[in-house]
Chain A
Amino acid sequence: MFKIFAKLADWVTHDLLQIAPQTHLAEAVHFFIEDTAKIFFLLTTLMLLVGFFRSWISPEKVRHWLDGKPMLLAYFLAVTLGAITPFCSCSSIPLFIAFLGTGIPLGVTMAFLITSPMVNEVAAILFGEAIGWQFTLAYVGTGMVTGMVGGAIIDCLKIERWVEPFVFQINVPKDGIEERKLTLKHRLNHAWGETKDILQRVWLYVLIGVGVGAAIHGFVPQEWFIAHAGKDNLFAVPMAVIMAVPLYSNVTGVVPVAEVLISKGLPVGTTLAFIMSTVAISLPELVILRKVLKVQMLAFFVAYLALAFVIVGYVFNYVF
């Protein structure tokens, strides 16, 4: 079904731009056009679909579902909801305050906040289509387990003192809002609005991601990756995680990069560690979280994620 994008790229590269086939430039341009068209097409259709179904799930409802559940179930529910909801980092602060203010444990809240930006259903489908469904499974599983384990550790350590104290002083009403009945038209509008929002937020990341992917695809020889970052090189995984810390991209933007890295022979675990670190550890997100979390908690947060991704990288390199 996605052959049409390859055909489009053939036509633009060879007929329209007249670039000689089998050259580095042709490969790069072809990749850029095919992936840009494919990702934006999938992103738009999937977001519309997901946005429509998501009009049944509001953060207020998520809070309600998490309330008073036994701990293990609560962690699982928190990361599941985190995986299917794309609450942007701008809503993470109100969410955080409201969860804690109504008695949801800190670990459950953090589990939700860790998984939410990492796992994204559009990226999951793009990975499946571009790399393989095993990779999708590895990706979703990693995001959910990292969130659950992180949440459990935070609850075990009882580190509520690393949260800014004002958060616990806000009096949050438990059953604040009556939901209005939504008509089909409202839901469709909601889907359209959310899709526009997300496209506005991610288009640049996607273009940069495809651009970087295209450059690697066209110009970096396969031998380079195998020589420098193959499975035998034990430092490759931690290096990948550390290199990705200052990088930041939306998860949809890393799909083309991951696709190319794997096709060039970078091991699955190393690739997964690299993209997870790019997506989950980001300076803008940390700056936002600083409003409610003390520096110690942020340091713990980054250290935990980095360690988790290194472990994930080794495990998947060993398994695949």
Chain B
Amino acid sequence: MKKITILGTGCPKCKTLLANAEQAAKSKGIEYEIEKVQEIADIVAYGVMSTPGLAVDGKVVSSGKLLSSKEIEKLI
């Protein structure tokens, strides 16, 4: 079970990242759970300063970039 966390305040890029992450997890066929972190204070607590950020199993793997689903597949 992978836990995928989207760190973003609700900007358009954050929504696209969420969709891309779901697509990546589905096409990889893994079991996953997605959560959104939207409070700025909580996002910063992950060490992320530029949104959107992406964390897998609680570890930040990307910040400030809108990754494609192909790129996310390599990270999860």
Q: A59-B64, A97-B40 are in contact. Are A173 and B47 (CB under 8 A)?
A: yes
**Choice from A87, A90, A190 contacting B11 with Cβ under 8 Å:** A90
Seed contacts A59-B64, A60-B48, A180-B61; 14 additional CB < 8 Å A-B pairs? A58-B49, A58-B63, A87-B50, A93-B40, A94-B43, A94-B48, A94-B51, A166-B41, A170-B41, A170-B44, A172-B44, A173-B45, A173-B46, A177-B47
Our pick among B9, B41, B47 for the contact of A176 (Cβ within 8 Å) is B47
Is there an interface contact between A91 and B44, defined as CB atoms closer than 8 Å?
no
A-B contact count (CB 8 A): 61
- 7 smallest CB-CB distances across A and B, nearest first, come from A176-B47, A59-B49, A173-B47, A97-B44, A94-B49, A98-B49, A177-B60
Chain A to chain B contacts (Cβ below 8 Å), 21 pairs: A58-B49, A58-B64, A59-B49, A59-B50, A60-B63, A90-B9, A90-B11, A91-B49, A94-B50, A97-B41, A98-B47, A170-B44, A172-B47, A173-B46, A173-B47, A174-B47, A175-B47, A176-B46, A177-B48, A180-B61, A190-B65
Interface string of A168-206 (1 = CB under 8 A from B): 001111111100100000000010010000000000000
For B32-69 the 0/1 string (1 means CB < 8 A from A) is 00000000110111111111000000001111111000
User: How far is the CB of A63 from the nearest CB of chain B, in Å?
Assistant: 7
B45 and A170 contacting across the interface, CB-CB below 8 Å: yes
Q: How far is the CA of A291 from the CA of B40 in the complex (A)?
A: 10
Q: Interface on chain B toward A: helix, strand, loop, or mixed SS? A: loop
Partner-B contacts on A (CB < 8 A):
58-60, 63, 87, 90-91, 93-95, 97-98, 101, 166, 170-177, 180, 190, 193, 291
Distance to closest chain B CB from A169 (angstroms) = 9
Q: Which residues of B line the A interface, CB within 8 A?
A: 9, 11, 40-41, 43-51, 60-66
Smallest CB separation, A43 vs chain B (Å)? 21
A97 CB contacts on chain B under 8 angstroms: 40-41, 44
Contact B44 A101, beta carbon cutoff 8 Å: yes
**CA of A91 to CA of B48, assembled, Å:** 11
Whether the Cβ atoms of A180 and B62 lie closer than 8 Å is yes
Report the Cα distance A56→B49, complex, angstroms.
Answer: 15
Contact between chains at B50 and A58 (CB < 8 Å) = yes
Q: Which residues of B contact A173 (CB under 8 A)?
A: 45-47
- In this complex, what residue of B is CB-closest to A100? B44
In the bound complex, what is the Cα–Cα distance between A127 and B43 (angstroms)?
38
Residues of A within 8 A of B50 (CB): 58-60, 87, 91, 94
Question: Which residue from chain A places its CB closest to the CB of B66 in the assembled complex?
Answer: A193
Q: How far is the CA of A170 from the CA of B51 in the complex (A)?
A: 18
- In Å, the complex CA distance between A171 and B61 comes to 19
Contact B49 A95 (CB under 8 A): yes
Q: How far is the CB of B76 from chain A (nearest CB, A)?
A: 14
CB-CB under 8 A from B51, the residues of chain A are 91, 94
Is B60 a contact partner of A176 (Cβ separation < 8 A)? yes
